[in-house]
Amino acid sequence: MIVYLLCLVLFCLGLYCILRKRNIIKIIVGVMIAEYAVNLFFILTGYRMRGRSPIFSPDVDITNMVDPLPQALVLTAIVIGLATTALLVAIAMRIYEKYGTFDITKIRELRG
């Protein structure tokens, strides 16, 4: 149970970072933290107490394995996260070239 709570704490930490930080790079780090919290949660849903790795072989019985599907899915989610982060960092670099700052209170020409 405690792992799930820690996972939630990590997610909230990421969201706090996105909402409260003023530096663009810190916001990107916040996105990554929140993303990893979700990935971790997804992995945990497939975990079993003292489960063994999900490799099928004829001589071992297949009781008490961890669920392999979330691991495959999280692998995909990590790759997507990587692409998003790369794009975000690229945009942040361009913003720094144009505005000369990473502070979002100074990059506020659009009103929303």
Partner 1 sequence: MITASNIIPLFVAIPLAGAFLISLLGKRIKRLPDVLGVSVALILCGLSLLSVRLYSIYGILTYSVGAWKLPIGIGMVLDGLTSFMLVTINLIAFCIVVYSVNYMERYTAKWSFYTLFFLMVGGMNGVVITGDMFNLFVLLEIAAVASYALVAFGTDRHELEAAFKYAIMSTVGSLFILLGIALLYSYTSTLNMADMANILAQKGTGNITLMVSVLFLMGFGLKAALVPFHAWLPDAHPSAPAPISAMLSGVLIKALGIYALCRIFYNVIGLSPTLSSVLMFLGTLSMVVGVLLAIGQWDLKRLLAYHSISQIGYVVLGIGLGTPLGILGGLFHLFNHSVFKSLLFLNSGAVEYSTGTRDLQKMGGLTSRMPVTGTTNLVASMSISGIPPFNGFWSKLIIIIAVVQAGRFGYAFWAVLASLLTLASFMKVMKYAFFGELRENLSRIREAPLFMKLSMGALAFLCVVGGLLLLPGVKEVFLQRATDVLLEGTEYAVIVLKGIK
Which H helix or E strand runs over 91? helix 68-99
Place of tokens 């995909």: 76
Residue 29: name the closest of 38, 16, 43 by CA.
Answer: 16
Q: Min. distance of Cβ 54 from partner 1 in angstroms?
A: 14
Please give the Cα distance from 27 to 21 (Å, whole number): 6
According to CB under 8 A, which residues from 52 to 71 bind partner 1? Answer: 69-70
Q: Indicate which single residue of 45, 58, 65, 101 sits in contact with partner 1 (rule: CB under 8 A).
A: 45
Asked if 33 interacts with partner 1 (CB under 8 A), we say no
Asked if 89 interacts with partner 1 (CB under 8 A), we say no
Positions touching partner 1 (CB under 8 A) are: 11, 15, 18, 24, 27, 31, 34-35, 38, 41-42, 45-46, 69-70, 73, 76-77, 80, 83-84, 87-88, 91-92, 94-95, 98-99, 107-110, 112
